[in-house]
Each structure stands twice: as structure tokens, then as C-alpha cells.
A and B are shown apart, each in its own frame.
Chain A
Amino acid sequence: MSDLREIYQEVILDHNKKPRNFHKLERANRLAQGHNPLCGDTVIVYALVENGIVKDIAFEGAGCAISTASASMMTEAVKGKTLEEAEALFCRFHALLTACQSPSEVSKEASLGKLAAFAGVREFPIRVKCATLAWHTLQAALKNQSEPVSTE
């Protein structure tokens, strides 16, 4: 099971079991829905943006451990960040999952913090969509896109 632990790291299992900021955000002024039609995962991301800063963020939905943990950890990572910082973080996170560099290089350079736990997902290409669904949905919410996000 050693290789599987690469993808199902303790921090990921923990956030799957006890997702943070997992609720509706009544005072949200940004919202988007995401959907992975291949596996049926759904997510709604709520954000309260004031003066270019993500003051609060939450999510609801149903998905696998990777998708739930990714959404949960994303809300923690993005809260309090400026829109530009959130966007930059997504770029680094995306690079971690898809780039050709070794996971350790990417995580060190990008200082992703806890999010570096998702480095193992890059070995399982089909699960990359699970890990990025919430992030794509956040991006849509911050850009005020009305169309639901789809991984396909």
C-alpha cells in the first residue's frame, strides 16, 4: 500500500473525513457550480469578496476523497488572500499536478504548504480532474461566470 499512501496522504484523508468550511455561505457575493460528468462529482463554491480580498469562502457538494479534500484544503488556503494571490496559487497547484518537474521541486519552489500533499495525484492522471474541480469552480466564481463548470 506504500504507493497508494502517496495519493491518500493522512492530511487528505483527514480533510475528506472532516471537510473544513463545508456549508452554505449566506453572505456570499460570488458563487459557482462545478460538475465532473465522468464520475458525478458536484461542488458549489461560495465566496465573499470585498476590496479584492477573499474574506470568506465555503463549499458544498459530493465527491470522492480527493475531490472533497481538495475543496476543503482550497478554502483554507485561499481565505484572506487577494484575488491575484488566489489565482497564482491555483496556477502553482495546477503545475504541481501536471508539470514535468519532480513533486519535491515543485512544492519547494511554489511553497504550496499543505497543498503539496496532492503531488501524488499526478501519478494517477484520471484523478487530476478530481483534485482540480473545486479550483476550476472557484476560478469561475471569482470571475463571476454564470455557466456551471464542467471537467469535460
Chain B
Amino acid sequence: MASTSSAVGNGSPAVKWLLRVVVIGYLFLLVAWPTAYVVRHTFDDGLTGLRTALSDPDVVHALVLTVQVSVAAVVINTLFGVGMSLLLVRHRFVGRRALSALIDLPLSVSPVVVGLALVLVYNGRFGWFGPWLEAHGLQIVFARPGMILATCFVILPLVVREVVPVLEELGDDQEQAARSLGANAWQTFWRITLPGVRWAVVYGVVLSLARALGEFGAIKVVAGNVGGETQVATVLVQQKYQNFEQQTAYSMAFLLVFAAVLCLVVVALLRPKEGHR
């Protein structure tokens, strides 16, 4: 607490308490209360709400689809994210800054726009690549590849932005030492670089997984919203809610929140094992 007070300055105790109340009140009204409300409504009738929801095949399908699309997107994004971070930090090339800026683009572009853009490029009738791909038996838009693509776009910066600062701080001393000890590029990456950034990667993965599970706009446009086929959990929540199946909507919302909290708990549990630093 001593450091907090010195950081705030020489404010009086009253100011300190006021600041705390404002911050806690803000978080309560913005995050804690609405989330708690969802949880409370889910369990209005005990477990019946969840049970009813999970007996609906559309709900189960949407949940499974959400997990499949999210996991696929997160795996792809992690591979590319780590690769791109290495490229950005360890190499100097023309257009490096432009690439770096491009990676941040998904943060500022509305996901709905992303979805529309993907539909324009990949749709089977008049898109740039769509007709060719479809002729070769690969449907992108209104199918899983498109949904994975949209999710990848949205979570693109999350792994890179976690890994880049850690790589920068790590420096390349350890990598050079490994090279001088006889390790080739792959061994150096696998034994030295990756363990050095593993926590950043874990955080990036958890963040992008949470973001992927909750993605709505881009995936709704790309997926086409066919119940039982290309409908993901978030989209189904909206539909159920609008169809006055509130109980099911709350139950699914609860499951999404639960998954997100689970992610955070897993990270919190893993973290102390990092060793005595």
C-alpha cells in the first residue's frame, strides 16, 4: 500500500477513499453486476435452465461449433503470431513498421466490416478467389473455413502484442549463446527462444481464445446464420433472446462467461509454477 500512496502523491486519506469508491463502483456497475445478473438468471430454477438448454440440439451444435472454430483459429493464430513476432523483433526489413501497423488493424476495424470484406473476397459467386476455390471443392463463405478466417482476423494482434515486448526485452544474447554452443536455428528456437516467451504465448493464447469464443459481428456476417449448421453460440444467444427463450439465452451466456473465467483461472494456477524469479 505504501507504493500506492506514494504513486498517488500526497493526497489526503479522504481523496484516497473517494478514488477507491469510484473505481470499485465503476467496475461493479460495468462488469460485476451485469455478469452476476446473468449467472443469477441462469440458476433461477436450479439446473433446469441449463438442462433444457443443453437438450436443444441447436444449442449443443452451436457450442461445439464455437469451440471447434475458436480452437482452430487460436492454433493458426498462435503459429503465425509467434512467427510474426520473431520477424518483427529479430529482423530489419523494408516495410517492417507498415507490417507492425497492419497487425493492429483488427483492433480498430469493426468486426462487421471484416466479415463483409471476407464475404466480398471469398464468396462463391463474384468474389476474387471464391469462384475458383469453390470450383475446386472448397467453400469458404457460409462455411467453417470462412468462420475460422474471420476469427483469425479478429484475434490477429492478440498473440503478437503479447510476445513482441517480451522478445524485445529478452534480447538475442541467449540465442547467440545457443548458436555458439552448436545449436542450429530450429534447436535455438525450440530450446531457448520459445521457453523464454512461453508465458507471453500462454497469455496470448488465453486472450485470443476468450476473444474467439465471444466473437459475434464478423462471424455472423460470414457464417450466414443457418441454425444447426453455421450458427455459433454468441449468435444463437442473440436469436434465442429475441425469440423470448430468455432462459436458454441466459444459460448459454453463462456457459460463455464460465469458459472465459475458466481461462483466467487456468492461467492463474499455472503462473506460480514458473519458478523463483
A binds B: no
Please give the residue numbers on chain B whose beta carbons come within 8 Å of chain A beta carbons, in ascending order: none
